[in-house]
Structure 1
């Protein structure tokens, strides 16, 4: 573990990303302490600029809601979306990719055709269809993002399994009589995880962006204080009160940047080719 942190700390960008991510997590955890009231309540006069009122350091939006409260509480929503949607996508991708790469043949063909079927339409277009059919509650949006995000994870897992399934350690446990599923999930999967973990950071960043895009189009859950909803609400006043959309936009940018940098740092720390450098 100590060596892992040493390898991670070699990259200044990874450390910077970790600090940013810790700050975002800190915002999410402290939102209820700094802003105990409902962040979607009407708090004051609409469209007050940042720093013009001591009560509203980041100003108010077009309906008079406190932007700072929505930013802090929106960190909870964005992190929840990113983590849960990523977990769903990675879980589906690992199962599909592991079975396809381990067994090959007909199983591989069938599962890869299924994967390609999900990749025929662009992610966002498929996401729009799912949200239109099943609704736009937060849980539905998270599930839909996870469902549209698993194919690349499946392909990555399959490629790793194809390169590992004939290695000596796999042949050794086969000769000892170990069954297929323990070989897949106890022997091969731990060796295939580093690139999958790194790609999980990509999925998480994209998940946050996808929800923000849905909210910008008024297709996400309007009853949660997400950053995307705040950006979407600022469209009508974008020319004059641009800060309404700019502030949550910066929050999304920094969060996505932090997740990407942490993912790169994990790649450097977990990649066996880089461990001896």
Structure 2
């Protein structure tokens, strides 16, 4: 209850929540408003927004309805963000928990692997994954999650290092509780709040990474993603700039919403901030 009250008291958090609910509503209602395939031809190419009441946001280079792609693209972007974030958080928690709890050579090996992943930028690693394994939407989503785990791993490790010698952990060892139960049932629940907050950062970055891939035409061209639409608009950017601008605004709003929600979670879960 205190968490909910603290969250609702934050105006930026509420703005982010409202924006995120709007995007989720677009994703859920996409089939109702636009039941046809969003990548099917709908009219003549490059109709400006408002010029034809059938196409409120106009059409792209191929004559496809931009509004339909925006609504269906919300589903794609949210799905990529949620799945990629889940993969990154799951990998990060397991690796960080093992490193922080056991220490010693286990910590050294796992942290050297983590540092090896962090020596190269995420996007460069993502390009390598896509080049090797392909660019269908499932592969891209898994690849984004696979390059995003080092940060939550280091965060989880830091939390475990501060908690592994606490009294409740010593008591668990005294009564003969196994390491697995101590890690995942006793320590992890206490280490999760900062990891959950950081998940919002990973989700925002995941949406941006997929959009960047699509802009370079390295993502799946068979899905109606906002990045693909921006990439199409690149060819007519000087004249029909709206083709890229509209999905760009959608990405901006979604990333801003996720970031504000994450900030609100941090304010609500951080006891030092709650006291202010």
Normalised-by-shorter TM-score class: over 0.9
Report the alpha carbon displacement of residue 256 of structure 1 after superposing the two structures with TM: 0.2
Match of 1:196 in 2: 195
Match of 1:111 in 2: 110
Match of 1:233 in 2: 232
Paired residues, what number?
276
Give distance in 1, aligned partners of 2:66 and 2:55: 7
Moved over 2 A (4+): 272-277
Match of 2:6 in 1: 7
Other structure's SS at 2:140 match: helix
Report the alpha carbon displacement of residue 272 of structure 1 after superposing the two structures with TM: 2.9
- TM-score (normalised: structure 1): 0.98
- TM-score (normalised: structure 2): 0.98
Match of 1:185 in 2: 184
Report the alpha carbon displacement of residue 142 of structure 1 after superposing the two structures with TM: 0.3
Match of 2:141 in 1: 142
Match of 1:55 in 2: 54
Give distance in 2, aligned partners of 1:6 and 1:150: 31
Q: What is the CA RMSD across the aligned residues, in angstroms? A: 0.8
Give distance in 2, aligned partners of 1:65 and 1:71: 11
- 1:56-115 Cα distance to aligned partner (Å, 9 max, x none): 000000110000000000000000000000000000000000000000000000000111
Matched, 1:92 2:91: yes
Report the alpha carbon displacement of residue 204 of structure 1 after superposing the two structures with TM: 0.2
Give distance in 2, aligned partners of 1:107 and 1:260: 34
Other structure's SS at 1:121 match: coil
Write out aligned runs for 1:165-180 (5 A).
165-180=164-179
Give distance in 1, aligned partners of 2:272 and 2:173: 27
Give distance in 2, aligned partners of 1:177 and 1:156: 28
Report the alpha carbon displacement of residue 167 of structure 1 after superposing the two structures with TM: 1.1
Match of 1:247 in 2: 246
Stretch of structure 1 that moved more, 199-208 or 110-119: 110-119
Gaps of 5+ in 2: none
Matched, 1:133 2:140: no
